[in-house]
Structure 1
Amino acid sequence: MRDLGAGFGYLMKGQRWVAQHGKRYGWSLLPGLITLVLYAVALVCLGVWGDDAITWVTPFADDWSSPWSGLFRGFLTAVLFALALLLAVLTFTAVTLLIGQPFYESLSEEVDRAESGGEVPESGLPLWRELWISARDSLRILARAALWGLLLFALGFVPFVGQTVIPVLGFFVTGFFLTEELTAVALQRRGVQLRDRLTLLRSRKGLAWGFGAPLAVSFLVPFVAVFLMPGAVAGATLMVRDLEGDPEARGAAPTTAPHPHPAPHIAGADETPRGLTS
């Protein structure tokens, strides 16, 4: 429970940080606005042509008597739209971070610089390489999130449990993946790979849930997601900075091979310093 509260605290600290840096906050809103427009167009298209698509893929229902054909296709259309909404929530952060990589990287560096008095961990990689790593890791996280989403969707049909426990569980699962995506901005600069990031967050699930679950709830409202994203990146960076000094979290990060350009990372006292690996 303490970790849940601490995670939520980092989210609030991040929002306060960007509120105190208005110019930086304004620039950091652009990626979220672009992503919101793209998703809104996609969902509107699905709403307009989704029924036609379902009719096209279910020709066997053409000869069904009324009202079964309409009910069946209406149910499938509703399921399709629900899955699209779930996918939008799960992928909004990843797509926004990918589109806004330069914006959020700069914001995260600014948080590090302000908190450390000038010292900023750097990956030493060119922008195209960072974008490739970010896109690759986002696809891997999306695959994991999609599997969880399908499982939770299926469990949603279980009487009582599907209408009570499963929605709550869904927010915690979504929150965990949101936290991973947001902390990745700062952790990637520190040379921590995806597998190690997941290991780190699994060792502090309460912290990840406390940070990400409230975001998962608020991101159900599109405009809220746009305005909270810069503060979420700032809060995730603050959380990563504190985890660097946490012995329990440091011990959770496995060792990787050193790189010619080492970067600070979360590591135990007995570990070899880890640099960036591709």
Structure 2
Amino acid sequence: MGFGRGAGFLLRGLRLWRDRPRLMLLGILPALLVAVAVAALLVALLLYADDLIGWATPFADDWNDAVRGLLRGALYLLVLVGGAMLAVVTFTGLTLAVGDPFYEKIWKEVELSLGGDVPDHGVGWLRGALDGIVLVLFGMLTALGVFAVGLLPVVGSVVGAVLGLVVAGRLLAGELVSRPLEARGMDRAARAALMRRHRGAMLGFGVCVQACFLVPLGGILVMPAAVAGATYLAREALESAPR
């Protein structure tokens, strides 16, 4: 499965808004609550980013106005990109932690619609919450990495933004796909071995979901579809695995 195939799983999940709207509405409430909290933090970042950058670059106070403005403008853009990456991954991790029972219902219904072997129970709220917190921590590391790469002259901001999108998307895909796989008793090593054969699809799925999350209100509407799409991806990976 390649990149385009991975993006197609998200489209399949989005179609459930037409076919199963009541089911998809289950994922709205936790996503909405977390989105409000994350949006408040982003607004605070926008308000205080200039002060933060000025505090972090005192060495540029005596520079030429144009050079100093260029440096701090690039850093401002970089802070916003890193903040956006952190907000998206934080949103995903917290939403999965808060809304695990809702999203378990969604992926179970998708499993039932596909037939075959369907797990009797999910990973449990506590385990889901812990996985969500781990995803938030990885998101913080990703944001720091984006900031560090962005310090490269000329191309740093662009390279940092692209790298952040790819890394955060891959982390997101791995977390979403893990739910139906872990419910089948697969440990982390077994899940990694299975999905390693579908790197392109994982990347395509994760990057597309991540890109949708960057659109205002996109995360709220796409989150239930992402859970469903990840279930489709996991099932296809299981069915194509060597027996």
Question: What range is the shorter-chain TM-score in?
Answer: 0.7 to 0.9
Q: For the residues of structure 1 that align with 2:16 and 2:74, how far apart are their CA atoms? A: 45
Is the 1:93–1:181 contact (alpha carbons within 8 Å) kept by the matching residues of 2?
A: no
Per the alignment, residue 9 of structure 2 pairs with 10
Q: Aligned pair 1:238/2:237, yes or no?
A: no
Q: Aligned pair 1:83/2:82, yes or no?
A: yes
Q: For the residues of structure 1 that align with 2:163 and 2:79, how far apart are their CA atoms? A: 21
Q: Aligned pair 1:156/2:154, yes or no?
A: no
Q: Aligned pair 1:41/2:35, yes or no?
A: no
Identify if the C-alpha distance between structure 1 residues 232 and 48 changes in structure 2 by more than 3 Å, giving closer, same or farther: same
Q: Aligned pair 1:191/2:185, yes or no?
A: yes
Q: Give CA-to-partner distance per residue, 1:42-100, whole Å, 9 cap, x none.
A: 22233445666778x77x96xx67998x9798887765554332210222211111111
Identify if the C-alpha distance between structure 1 residues 155 and 54 changes in structure 2 by more than 3 Å, giving closer, same or farther: closer
SS of equivalent residue, structure 2 residue 226: helix
Q: Aligned pair 1:121/2:115, yes or no?
A: no
Q: Which deviates the most, 234-243 or 131-140? A: 131-140
Is the 1:33–1:226 contact (alpha carbons within 8 Å) kept by the matching residues of 2?
A: yes
Identify if the C-alpha distance between structure 1 residues 19 and 43 changes in structure 2 by more than 3 Å, giving closer, same or farther: same
Amino acid of the residue matched to residue 43 of structure 2? V
Identify if the C-alpha distance between structure 1 residues 108 and 218 changes in structure 2 by more than 3 Å, giving closer, same or farther: same
Identify if the C-alpha distance between structure 1 residues 199 and 138 changes in structure 2 by more than 3 Å, giving closer, same or farther: farther
Q: For the residues of structure 2 that align with 1:15 and 1:124, how far apart are their CA atoms? A: 22
Q: For the residues of structure 2 that align with 1:171 and 1:122, how far apart are their CA atoms? A: 35
Amino acid of the residue matched to residue 39 of structure 2? A
Is the 1:112–1:237 contact (alpha carbons within 8 Å) kept by the matching residues of 2?
A: yes
Aligned counterpart in structure 1 of residue 223 of structure 2, from 226, 229, 239: 229
Is the 2:77–2:157 contact (alpha carbons within 8 Å) kept by the matching residues of 1?
A: no
SS of equivalent residue, structure 1 residue 171: helix
Amino acid of the residue matched to residue 143 of structure 1? L
- The normalised TM-score by structure 1 is 0.72
Q: Aligned pair 1:179/2:173, yes or no?
A: yes
Amino acid of the residue matched to residue 105 of structure 1? E
Is the 1:104–1:185 contact (alpha carbons within 8 Å) kept by the matching residues of 2?
A: no
Q: For the residues of structure 2 that align with 1:192 and 1:215, how far apart are their CA atoms? A: 24
Name stretches of at least 5 consecutive residues in structure 1 with no aligned partner: 249-268, 270-278
Identity of aligned residues (%): 34
Larger helix proportion of the pair = 2
Identify if the C-alpha distance between structure 1 residues 38 and 146 changes in structure 2 by more than 3 Å, giving closer, same or farther: closer
Q: Which deviates the most, 15-24 or 204-213? A: 15-24
Amino acid of the residue matched to residue 174 of structure 2? E
Q: Which deviates the most, 93-102 or 155-164? A: 155-164
**Aligned residues: CA RMSD:** 3.2
Identify if the C-alpha distance between structure 1 residues 168 and 82 changes in structure 2 by more than 3 Å, giving closer, same or farther: closer
Q: How big is the shift at 1:39?
A: 0.9
Identify if the C-alpha distance between structure 1 residues 35 and 142 changes in structure 2 by more than 3 Å, giving closer, same or farther: closer
Q: Which deviates the most, 159-168 or 31-40? A: 159-168
- The normalised TM-score by structure 2 is 0.81
Q: Give CA-to-partner distance per residue, 1:108-152, whole Å, 9 cap, x none.
A: 1111112117x5302476xxxx22212222333343443343233
Name stretches of at least 5 consecutive residues in structure 2 with no aligned partner: none
Per the alignment, residue 162 of structure 2 pairs with 168
Identify if the C-alpha distance between structure 1 residues 182 and 50 changes in structure 2 by more than 3 Å, giving closer, same or farther: same
Per the alignment, residue 133 of structure 1 pairs with 127
Identify if the C-alpha distance between structure 1 residues 49 and 19 changes in structure 2 by more than 3 Å, giving closer, same or farther: same
Amino acid of the residue matched to residue 173 of structure 1? V
Per the alignment, residue 101 of structure 2 pairs with 102
**Bigger RCO (CA 8 Å, 6+ sep):** 2
Q: For the residues of structure 2 that align with 1:53 and 1:163, how far apart are their CA atoms? A: 18
Q: How big is the shift at 1:20?
A: 0.3
Q: For the residues of structure 2 that align with 1:96 and 1:46, how far apart are their CA atoms? A: 21
